[in-house]
C-alpha cells in the first residue's frame, strides 16, 4: 500500500491517541508512539481513510447498479445489510429504503434477531403464533397481517383451510423477506398452519341476516358497534335498511347475535370435507384440529380420514377448551386416537376464552387457569402446551405469576408458547384501514408503504417481543 504522507502541526500531547479508521486492526486499537512521531501516525490514518472511502464508493456503485437495472446476486464486496449470496431483484420488485429521517432512525433501531427455527422456539418456550382466524377470509387483510407479523418474528401463521387464504399468507411472508434484508432483520420463515374442525365449533361459523329481514330505520345498530371485524354493511332504501354481513370478514365471534334488538341475525355452521383438507395439506406445514367436549368419536373419524395426509407435516395441533372436570385426562384420550402417529411435533392449544383477546385485559385469566390445571394433572401426556383464547399483552405476566414459565434453564418450560388472534388483528386495525384508503383500483400492499409498515411493525413488536425475551426498549434507542 502506498502511503500519502501529510505533514501536520498536530500537538505532541496527542501522541499515541489516534484511533484507526478501519482495516484489519481491532477497531479500538491505538497507534503506539514511534520515533517518526506525528507524521508517521498521520500517514497511516490517512491511508486507512482512503481505503474506507474506496470501499464506500464500491458499495454505492453496486447499489446504483441494482436500482438502475436488472437484479444481481452479491458474491463479493457485500454492502452493509446484505448477505453474501443474497438476491436483489429488479428495482420495481425491490423494497424502497425509507427516505424520511425519522423512519431511518426507526429502521436502524429494529435490528433485532429472533430464533430462526420454530422448533427451537417450542423447545425454549418462545413459540408465538398468529391466528388470522379459522373463518376469516379477507385475503387483503390476511396478506398484510402475514407480512407484519412475519417481520415481528412469529413462528407460525394459522389461517382458514382455504386455498386463496393460504396463498395470501404465502404472499405476505414472501413480501416480508426483502423488507427484512433491507431493514436488518432476520429473514422470516414461519410455518403455515390451517385450522379444521371435527364438528360444530364457534370458530367455524358465520353470522347471517335472516332471509327477507330488514333493519328498522331508527335502529341504533348495536351489531355494528360490537363487531370486531367491521363485517356489517347497510344499504338505505325507502322501505327500510337492508343489512348484510360480509362473509369473508366475519370470523364467528358471535357478539352481534345477542345484542340485535330485533332478532334479525342467526348463525351458520360449516365444515370442510376431509378430501378438501387433504388436498390443501400438501402446501402447508401444520394443521390444527379444533374439537370440543363430547367430540371424541368425531375426532377419531376425522383423524383416520386425514392420517395419510398428516404423516409428513411438521406439526399437528389439537385445539380444545376446558374438557369436563379433568382436561388433561380427556386430552390423553384424544392422544390415544392419533393412530398412526405423525412424524412431526404435537401441540395442545389450550383455548381459554375463544375469540376474546381484544375485549379487555382480564380475558387472559381463563386460559391461565386452564393451563395451570392441565400442567398440574398432565402426567405422561406428551406434546407441547400453548396458550390461546383471550390472550393479549397481559398474558405473559399472568402466566409468570401463575408459575407457568418460571423453570430452571436446564429444564423444559411448563408452557411453550402463545397464540394471538383478536388482539393481533385489533392492534393493526387502524393501520389496515389507512392502507385500504390508499388503494384505488388494486389493493395496496403494505410493503409498498414503508411508513405505514413501520408503525404496524412497532405495534406487532410490542406483542411478540416479550415472548421472544427481547426488550422492546432496546429497539427504540
Q: Model confidence over 245-271: pLDDT tens digits? A: 999 999 999 999 999 999 999 999 999
Task: Please check whether residue 446 is in contact with residue 439, taking contact to mean a CB–CB distance below 8 angstroms.
Answer: no
Q: How far is CA 198 from CA 5, 83, 164, 276, 303, in A?
A: 80, 45, 22, 14, 9
Give per-residue pLDDT as tens, 290-329: 999 999 999 999 999 999 999 999 999 999 999 999 999 9
Question: For the residues 393-418, what does the mean pLDDT come to?
Answer: 86
Report the chain's C-alpha Rg in angstroms. Answer: 28
Average pLDDT, the chain: 81
pLDDT at 1 over 80: no
Q: pLDDT per residue over 138-151, tens digit each?
A: 999 999 999 999 99
Find how far residue 69's CA is from the centre of its chain. Answer: 33
Longest CA–CA span in the chain (Å) reads: 100
Closest CA to 110 of 417, 443, 369, 457: 457
Q: Is the pLDDT of residue 474 over 50?
A: no
Q: Are the C-beta atoms of residues 160 and 169 closer than 8 Å to each other? A: no
User: Is pLDDT at 409 greater than 80 in this prediction?
Assistant: no
More confident residue, 49 or 227: 227
Bond into 147 cis (ω within 30): no
Q: What whole-number distance in Å separates Cα of residue 443 and Cα of residue 435? A: 9
298, burial (CB in 10 Å: exposed 0-12, middle 13-18, buried 19+): middle
Rounded to whole angstroms, the Cα distance separating 11 from 125 reads: 58
For the stretch 16-71, pLDDT in tens is 433 333 333 343 444 444 444 555 556 666 666 676 676 666 655 554 444 444 33
Whole-angstrom distance, CA of residue 318 vs CA of residue 213: 38
Whether residue 214 has pLDDT greater than 50: yes
**Contact call for residues 397 and 362 (beta carbons, < 8 A):** no
Residue 166 has pLDDT above 60, yes or no: yes
For the chain, what's the residue count? 477
CB 315 within 8 A of CB 284: no
The CA–CA distances, whole Å, from 350 to 115, 322, 415, 419 equal: 23, 8, 10, 10
Asked which of 152-166, 235-249, 337-351, 414-428 is least confident by mean pLDDT, the reply is: 235-249
Residues near 282 by Cβ (< 8 Å), separated by ≥ 6? 309
Task: Please state, for a pLDDT cut of 70, what percent of the chain lies above it.
Answer: 72
Measure Cα distances from 469 to 15, 111, 117, 274, 358 in Å.
45, 15, 15, 39, 23
Strands (E), 28-133: 72-73, 87-88, 127-131
Residues 83, 87, 90, 96, CA torsion sign: negative
Say what the pLDDT of residue 413 is.
82
Cell numbers found for residue 18: 489516534
Distance CA(263)–CA(407), nearest Å, equals 51
The pLDDT value recorded for residue 66 is 43
Question: What's the burial of 134, exposed, middle or buried (CB within 10 Å: 0-12/13-18/19+)?
Answer: buried
Strand 127-131 versus strand 417-420 pairing type: parallel
Residue 110, H or E segment: none
Distance CA 229, CA 252 (A): 10
- pLDDT recorded at residue 80: 45
User: In what helix (H) or strand (E) does residue 65 lie, and over which residues does it extend?
Assistant: helix 38-68
Give the start-end residues of each E strand in 213-292. 232-236, 241-245, 265-269, 286-290
Percentage with pLDDT > 90 across the chain: 65
pLDDT per residue as tens digits for the range 72-91: 333 444 444 444 444 443 33
**pLDDT for position 91:** 33
Q: Provide the pLDDT for residue 470.
A: 61
Dist CA 409 CA 121 (whole Å): 14
Say which range, 111-125, 339-353, 423-437, has the weakest mean pLDDT. Answer: 111-125
Q: What is the pLDDT of residue 24?
A: 37
Band (pLDDT 50/70/90 cuts) for residue 212 is confident
The contacts of residue 242 (CB under 8 Å, 6+ apart) are 214, 215, 234, 235
Answer yes or no: pTM beyond 0.85.
Answer: no
- CA dist., res. 286 & res. 306, Å (int): 13
State residue 5's pLDDT score: 41
Q: Please check the confidence at residue 234 and state whether its pLDDT lies above 60.
A: yes
Helix/strand/coil (H, E, C) string of 124-177? Answer: HCCEEEEECCCCCCCHHHHHHHHHHHHHHCCCEEEEECCHHHHHHHHHHHHHHH
Q: Do 206 and 265 contact (CB within 8 A), yes or no?
A: no
Amino acid at each position: 500500500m502506498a502511503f500519502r504522507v501529510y505533514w501536520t502541526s498536530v500537538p505532541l500531547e496527542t501522541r499515541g491517541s489516534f484511533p484507526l479508521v478501519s482495516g484489519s486492526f481491532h477497531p479500538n486499537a491505538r497507534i503506539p508512539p514511534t520515533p517518526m512521531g506525528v507524521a508517521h501516525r498521520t500517514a497511516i490514518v490517512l491511508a486507512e481513510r482512503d481505503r474506507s472511502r474506496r470501499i464506500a464508493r464500491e458499495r454505492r456503485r453496486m447499489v446504483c447498479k441494482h436500482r438502475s437495472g436488472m437484479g444481481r446476486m452479491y458474491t463479493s464486496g457485500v454492502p452493509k445489510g446484505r448477505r453474501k449470496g443474497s438476491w436483489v431483484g429488479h428495482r420495481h420488485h425491490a423494497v424502497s429504503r425509507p427516505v424520511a429521517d425519522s423512519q431511518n432512525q426507526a429502521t436502524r433501531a429494529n435490528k433485532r434477531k429472533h430464533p430462526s427455527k420454530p422448533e427451537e422456539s417450542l423447545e425454549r418456550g418462545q413459540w408465538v403464533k398468529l391466528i388470522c382466524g379459522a373463518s376469516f377470509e379477507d385475503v387483503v387483510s390476511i396478506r398484510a397481517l402475514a407480512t407484519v407479523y412475519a417481520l415481528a418474528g412469529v413462528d407460525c401463521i394459522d389461517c382458514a383451510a382455504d386455498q386463496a387464504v393460504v396463498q395470501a399468507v404465502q404472499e405476505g411472508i414472501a413480501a416480508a423477506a426483502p423488507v427484512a434484508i433491507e431493514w436488518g432483520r432476520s429473514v422470516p420463515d414461519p410455518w403455515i398452519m390451517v385450522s379444521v374442525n371435527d364438528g360444530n365449533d364457534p370458530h367455524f361459523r358465520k353470522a347471517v341476516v335472516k332471509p327477507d329481514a330488514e333493519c328498522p330505520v331508527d335502529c341504533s345498530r348495536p351489531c355494528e358497534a360490537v363487531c370486531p371485524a367491521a363485517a356489517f354493511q347497510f344499504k338505505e332504501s325507502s322501505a327500510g335498511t337492508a343489512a348484510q354481513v360480509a362473509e369473508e370478514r366475519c370470523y364467528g365471534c358471535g357478539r352481534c347475535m345477542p345484542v340485535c334488538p330485533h332478532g334479525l341475525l342467526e348463525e351458520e355452521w360449516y365444515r370442510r370435507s376431509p378430501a378438501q383438507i387433504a388436498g390443501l395439506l400438501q402446501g402447508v406445514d401444520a394443521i390444527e384440529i379444533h374439537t370440543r367436549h363430547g367430540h371424541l368419536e368425531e375426532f377419531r373419524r376425522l383423524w383416520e380420514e386425514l392420517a395419510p395426509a398428516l404423516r409428513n407435516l411438521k406439526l399437528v395441533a389439537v385445539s380444545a377448551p376446558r374438557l369436563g372436570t379433568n382436561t388433561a385426562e380427556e386430552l390423553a384420550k384424544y392422544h390415544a386416537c392419533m393412530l398412526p402417529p405423525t412424524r412431526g411435533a404435537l401441540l395442545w392449544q389450550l383455548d381459554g376464552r375463544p375469540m376474546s383477546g381484544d375485549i379487555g385485559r382480564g380475558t387472559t385469566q381463563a386460559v391461565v387457569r386452564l393451563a395451570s390445571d392441565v400442567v398440574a394433572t398432565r402426567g405422561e401426556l406428551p406434546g407441547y402446551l400453548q396458550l390461546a383464547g383471550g390472550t393479549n399483552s397481559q398474558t405473559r405476566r399472568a402466566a409468570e405469576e401463575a408459575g407457568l414459565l418460571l423453570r430452571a434453564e436446564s429444564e423444559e418450560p411448563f408452557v411453550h408458547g402463545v397464540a394471538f388472534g383478536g388482539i393481533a388483528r385489533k392492534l393493526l386495525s387502524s393501520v389496515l384501514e389507512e392502507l385500504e384508503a390508499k388503494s384505488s383500483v388494486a389493493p395496496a400492499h403494505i410493503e409498498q408503504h414503508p411508513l405505514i409498515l413501520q408503525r404496524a411493525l412497532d405495534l406487532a413488536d410490542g406483542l411478540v417481543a416479550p415472548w421472544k425475551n427481547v426488550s422492546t426498549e432496546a429497539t427504540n434507542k
